[in-house]
Amino acid sequence: MGLLIGYWGNHDNNGESQHTLQRLLTQATMGLGSTGLRVRSLRNNPSSDQPDNTRSIFGIAVAGRHSVIQNTVEDNSSAGRTGLTATVAAAGADFEADIWAKASSNKLVLGRGIFGRATIFWTQTTNAVWFASRLELLLKVVERASISLAGFYSYGCFSYVPAPLTPVKNIFSIRAGTEMIWSGTQCIASPQTLELHQWREANEQISDEKEAARRLRVLLEESVEAQLKHRTGDPIGVFLSGGLDSSVTAALLARAGAKLRLYTLDLGADCFSEVPYAESVARMLRVPLTKIQVTPSCLRRMLGSAARRLDGLYGDAVTVPLALMFERASEEVGVIFNGEGGDQLFAGWTNKPLIAGSLYEQAADSTFPSTNQSFTALYMRTFHRLHGLETEVYTEAVRQELDKYNPFAPLAKALDPVYTRSLLHRLKRANLLLKGADNIQPRATNLGLSYNLDVRTLFCSRSLAEWTFGVSGELWLRAGCEKYLLKRSIEDLLPSEVVWRDKRGMGVPLTLWLTGALRRWTRNQLHPRVLAREGLWQQDLARRVSSGELSGQVQGRRIGETLWLMLMWRAWLECILQGDAVRRNASWRHSLPATTQSERNLTT
């Protein structure tokens, strides 16, 4: 586990913020056992002309083995005043930080790494900026936590809430690859945003297949070496789906001499099974494979626990199966590797805009040269969620507020063609910033850290990722073959049926389960009376989704995905927002919140 909590600003002398910090830490570390709590809180010495009741003070605390806190000397401080720096690293405390907070008497810096592997949240009260590595912790700081309609609507569009929004009004997150900086003595001043890095296409593109394959192999092996630099000889876990990315990960780790434990999901006979491919890789590596069964009852049993561990809103079907894998792996290993990030870097099958890049390119260049709005709308459709169905999905009260929010705002900078010339690289950039940094990476980190596991991936390597932006798109997509260059680079390491097969991906049979074995439970969770009380979804929405009446776009597998999206929302309300209100003996239900000016400023 890795927790980071703190505050920065001007306060009176009664120590209210320090007491609040201590209370939050006590609550946050309940159940963490021996992971440890480290608290540091400083009050700066005021100058002679600074009133005693406006002293600038700050405090930061961390808990868990994935976090570090240390004193630092303030810049340009002749008196040698000290500040605080705290970090959290998903791969382990000895690795590069994924989020950080730096506080001093005249500056607060909150930052997030370029891959978005962890998230840092912030809110601003009258006298202080509060920040934390978990959204739930800040619910105890805001006076009355309520739903952010902009965040709720974004969730319906994407199945997650893109930064800087969150599901909670007046609580925000830091975008991946940026720092937010508060300066001076007045914390109420608006923060500045510093861009730390931009994914951009290289001026010269590599087109030599042999040279590119050789270089890719070297970069992958260097990433393995970096990820194993602090190895102890203990076994290391790998989530092996049977797909290319996780198989490459397992093969390269085994080649480097790591002692492995392999884990795969068994979804039964209700869907296409990738277990045989995982078994083929395990046999070749001569490593035992643990199969983790996922059943309808598992989804029902683990939904609340997964929502609490995730902390934020993640509505993909894979959330509970992932939680089951982390739970099982935590019994045997302390480090887990996954294949997350490969689809974003190598033009994977799940990234439909990348596969369809050659078809979209002419449309993007000629049909939409000026506004680019229609191409952005095409990209939005690849999420296969509820955008475009607002009148059939949301209540009238919600729709009136949605007029103030631009759903394309999170996509604008990610798809900005100024950073890329070719469409393939443009979409790669977008998927690193959106689907990767705001969904896939923090989702895995939150689950893994909740089970006290180091979470690592070979593909979150800056040198590797930047190199891919210098490789011609025809080496990634070759005659309909996705990840072509990756396959050529590692084809000697794995069975050919794993390397060269058409990837279908892990599909949880949600439609079959939620309209079959779990039909009554789903109906109760999303009962019209429940939805009417919330006042967000139209009260008969679940029935129309289940029957296929909502839209021609919501059919087949999309029925189950939409119901699951709603179920995860309900679980998050009950376990995070409503759960916090119950613990504080307060109520989260009140009049429908309007979209705030801060939310509009940050998302338009």
The secondary structure of the chain in percent helix, strand, coil, rounded to multiples of 5, reads 45, 15, 40
CA atoms within 13 A on the CB side of 214: 6
Residues 190 and 230 in one domain: no
Residue 510 domain flag? no
CATH of the domain at 52: 3.60.20
Structure tokens at 204: 């010269």
- Give the full edge-to-edge strand order of the sheet including 178-183: 67-73, 82-88, 99-103, 107-112, 178-183, 192-195
- The span from the CA of 154 to the CA of 602, in Å, is 13
Residues 174 and 107 in one domain: yes
Helix intervals (H) in 347-440: 352-355, 357-362, 373-381, 390-393, 396-402, 409-412, 423-431
Average pLDDT over residues 367-381: 65
- Give the residue from 168, 197, 226 where a domain finishes: 197
Residue 187 domain flag? yes
The pLDDT score that the predictor gives to residue 32 is 43
Residues 232 and 367 in one domain: no
Residues 229 and 120 in one domain: no
Do 231 and 456 touch, CB atoms closer than 8 A?
no
Q: Summarize pLDDT for 484-535 with one digit per residue, the tens.
A: 999 999 999 999 999 998 776 668 999 999 999 999 999 999 999 999 999 9
Domain count, the chain: 3
Peptide bond into 164 cis (omega under 30): yes
Residue 323 domain flag? no
pLDDT of 551 above 80: yes
How open is the CA angle 11-13-17, to the nearest 5 degrees? Answer: 55
pLDDT of 480 above 70: yes
Do 250 and 241 touch, CB atoms closer than 8 A?
no
Residues 46 and 148 in one domain: yes
Residue 421 one-letter amino acid: R
Residues 428 and 279 in one domain: yes
Residue 16 domain flag? yes
Three-state SS for 448? helix
Helix intervals (H) in 526-556: 528-534, 541-546
pLDDT of 174 above 90: yes
Other C-beta atoms closer than 10 Å to the C-beta of 15 total 15
Q: Which domain holds residue 219?
A: 209-293+337-351+417-499
Three-state SS for 272? coil
- Residue by residue, DSSP assigns 190-251 as PPEEEE-------SS-B--HHHHHHHHHHHHHHHHHHHTTT--SS-EEEE--SSHHHHHHHH
Distance from the Cα of residue 266 to its chain's centroid = 24
- The span from the CA of 538 to the CA of 532, in Å, is 7
pLDDT of 582 above 90: no
CATH of the domain at 459: 3.40.50.620
Residue 304 domain flag? no
Output the pTM of the full model.
0.91
Residue 19 domain flag? yes
Residue 368's pLDDT band (cuts 50, 70, 90): very low
- Give the residue from 468, 499, 530 where a domain finishes: 499
Residues 346 and 360 in one domain: no
Structure tokens at 490: 């590692």
The pLDDT score that the predictor gives to residue 31 is 44
- Give the residue from 385, 412, 439 where a domain finishes: 412
Residues 113 and 247 in one domain: no
The pLDDT score that the predictor gives to residue 74 is 64
Residue 64 domain flag? yes
Residue 597 domain flag? no
Residues 103 and 162 in one domain: yes
Residues 165 and 41 in one domain: yes
pLDDT of 376 above 60: yes
The pLDDT score that the predictor gives to residue 52 is 43
Residues 346 and 365 in one domain: no
Residues 90 and 168 in one domain: yes
